[in-house]
């Protein structure tokens, strides 16, 4: 009897460790994809629109292939439900697409580490909107987390000098837009996730967002925007493929699987590795220099994630995924 209990406990520990590892690797790959986008934007005549279209369409196709093999009946049922299809279009063409394109634009104005930290304001926006809709004040730790997010954004934008803006104003504005888009697609698809599962919804949404991104890209080219097809060498093509396959499809798949095991609360906390990953790759690989104010801002933003997503006393962590869509 005791041996059976011990074996069961060991199995649960191994499963939990696997979930933690998958969530960490997935979130870390999101950060890596940001550094890859920075590399492309800094070395080739490529646009954020092109990167977004390729990464979303590529990842979306891979998601659909997996779903067609493993969950064909579920995929068919979801696509036959008119209400779900409408919600999927909104989720993909508005939520996911806006988050991906604004994130790429911010990287172009700043760098992967800064863009990923600004993106983390989305968690603070979720907390604010949740409190507004529920007509209640935030808990003490949530209020502290909001202050930390505001302080982090201020430090990164001004380097501690209120009379100066150390990043382009457009970069800051796009960063705030990115945070708002993150909040939208975290909050919007919860019913879809509950009904169809996060993997299927994210996969179809990714493909829909990729189609929307391609439409925007072609429309921009028709109106005289930069060429839709950039000139890429072998390294550029390889990095672009890595963004789609590793930094988007594999990152989402691993993170979603990890969160399905450890629960949404712990998964959100593990997701705090993303800005760390983006900053590390940006600094070590691309040689991006960060100031002391930047590092303090990064630490404050990570503290905000822990404060806002921390489990309430007595709250039971469930394996239901609620916040996996919050990463780029």
Q: For residue range 210-225, what is the model confidence (pLDDT) as tens digits?
A: 999 999 988 876 676 6
pLDDT band at 327 (very low <50, low <70, confident <90, very high): very low
Report the pLDDT value the prediction gives residue 83, as an integer from 0 to 100: 95
Flag whether pLDDT at 87 surpasses 70: yes
The residue with tokens 């008119």 is 82
Report the pLDDT value the prediction gives residue 131, as an integer from 0 to 100: 87
**3-state DSSP percent of the chain in helix, strand and coil, to 5:** 80, 0, 20
Write the CB contacts of 157 (distance below 8 Å, at least 6 apart in sequence): 165, 166, 167, 172
Q: For residue range 45-80, what is the model confidence (pLDDT) as tens digits?
A: 999 999 999 999 999 999 999 999 999 999 999 999
- Can you tell me whether residue 285 is helix, strand or coil? coil
- Can you tell me whether residue 228 is helix, strand or coil? coil
- Residue-wise DSSP of 60-96: HHHHHHHHHHH-HHHHHHHHH-HHHHHHHHHIIIIII
Flag whether pLDDT at 162 surpasses 80: no
Q: Give pTM, 2 decimals.
A: 0.86
Q: For residue range 117-144, what is the model confidence (pLDDT) as tens digits?
A: 899 888 888 888 888 888 888 888 888 8
d(Cα 273, Cα 30) in Å, to the nearest integer? 9
pLDDT band at 178 (very low <50, low <70, confident <90, very high): very high
Report the pLDDT value the prediction gives residue 272, as an integer from 0 to 100: 81
Burial 230-242 (b: 16+ CB within 10 A, else e): eebeeebeebbeb
Report the pLDDT value the prediction gives residue 198, as an integer from 0 to 100: 87
User: Residue 323: what are its φ and ψ, rounded to 5°?
Assistant: -120, 15
The tokens for 125 are 């926006």
Please name the residue ranges forming H helices in 163-291. Answer: 169-187, 190-196, 198-222, 234-244, 251-262, 264-270, 273-284
**Angle formed by the axes of helices 2-43 and 112-119, to 10°?**
120
* Terminal Cα-to-Cα distance of the chain (whole angstroms): 46
d(Cα 309, Cα 53) in Å, to the nearest integer? 31
Mean pLDDT of 162-182: 88
Write the CB contacts of 16 (distance below 8 Å, at least 6 apart in sequence): 261, 262
- Can you tell me whether residue 180 is helix, strand or coil? helix
DSSP type of residue 290: -
């Amino acid at each position: 009897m005791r041996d059976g209990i011990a074996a069961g406990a060991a199995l649960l520990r191994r499963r939990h460790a696997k979930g933690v590892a998958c969530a960490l690797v997935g979130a870390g790959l999101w950060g890596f994809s940001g550094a890859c986008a920075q590399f492309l934007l800094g070395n080739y005549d490529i646009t954020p629109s092109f990167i977004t279209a390729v990464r979303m369409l590529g990842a979306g196709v891979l998601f659909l292939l997996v779903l067609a093999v493993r969950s064909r009946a579920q995929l068919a049922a979801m696509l036959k439900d008119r209400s779900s299809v409408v919600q999927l279009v909104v989720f993909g063409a508005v939520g996911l697409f806006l988050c991906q394109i604004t994130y790429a634009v911010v990287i172009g104005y700043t760098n992967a580490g800064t863009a990923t930290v600004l993106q983390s304001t989305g968690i603070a926006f979720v907390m604010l909107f949740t409190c507004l809709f529920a007509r209640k004040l935030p808990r003490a730790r949530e209020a502290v987390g909001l202050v930390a997010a505001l302080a982090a954004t201020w430090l990164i934008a001004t380097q501690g000098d209120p009379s100066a803006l150390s990043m382009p104003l457009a970069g800051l504005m796009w960063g705030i837009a990115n945070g708002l888009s993150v909040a939208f697609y975290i909050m919007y698809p919860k019913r879809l996730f509950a009904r169809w599962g996060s993997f299927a919804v994210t996969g179809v949404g990714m493909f829909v967002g990729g189609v929307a991104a391609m439409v925007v890209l072609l429309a921009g080219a028709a109106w005289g925007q930069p060429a839709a097809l950039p000139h890429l060498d072998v390294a550029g093509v390889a990095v672009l493929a890595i963004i789609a396959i590793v930094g988007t499809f594999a990152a989402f798949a691993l993170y979603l699987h990890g969160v399905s095991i450890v629960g949404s609360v712990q998964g959100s906390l593990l997701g705090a590795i993303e800005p760390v990953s983006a900053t590390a790759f940006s600094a070590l690989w691309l040689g991006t220099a960060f100031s002391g104010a930047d590092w303090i801002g990064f630490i404050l933003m990570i503290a905000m994630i822990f404060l806002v997503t921390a489990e309430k006393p007595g709250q039971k962590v469930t394996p239901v995924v609620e916040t996996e869509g919050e990463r780029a």
